[in-house]
Amino acid sequence: MELFFIYLLKATGLLSLFLLFYRAFLYKETHFQVSRWFLLFTIGILCPAPLDLDHLYRCTRGMATRPGSG
């Protein structure tokens, strides 16, 4: 459960950065195609970006090498 909250914190931070960038540079843009592609890119990056895959690998590897874990 702790990893889930860390994921949410990282995702919230990244979303805030993307929102600040959008508001600073693309908010009053009249070419809506650029804004659309930026928002789609943001969604595509935001989901997997906060995952710390190395940490997850070490956790699962450590669980597999514990004595009595099967």
Question: What tens-digit pLDDT sequence spans the chain (70 residues)?
Answer: 787 888 888 888 989 999 999 999 988 888 889 889 998 999 888 888 777 666 666 666 665 555 555 4
Pairwise CA distance, residues 20 & 4, whole Å: 24
Every domain of the chain and the residues it spans: 2-64
> Can you give the pLDDT at residue 19?
93
> Can you give the pLDDT at residue 56?
62
Does the model's pTM come out above 0.75?
Answer: no
> Can you give the pLDDT at residue 21?
93
Neighbours of 15 (CB within 10 A): 14
Q: How many residues does the chain have?
A: 70
Pairwise CA distance, residues 46 & 31, whole Å: 23
> Can you give the pLDDT at residue 55?
64
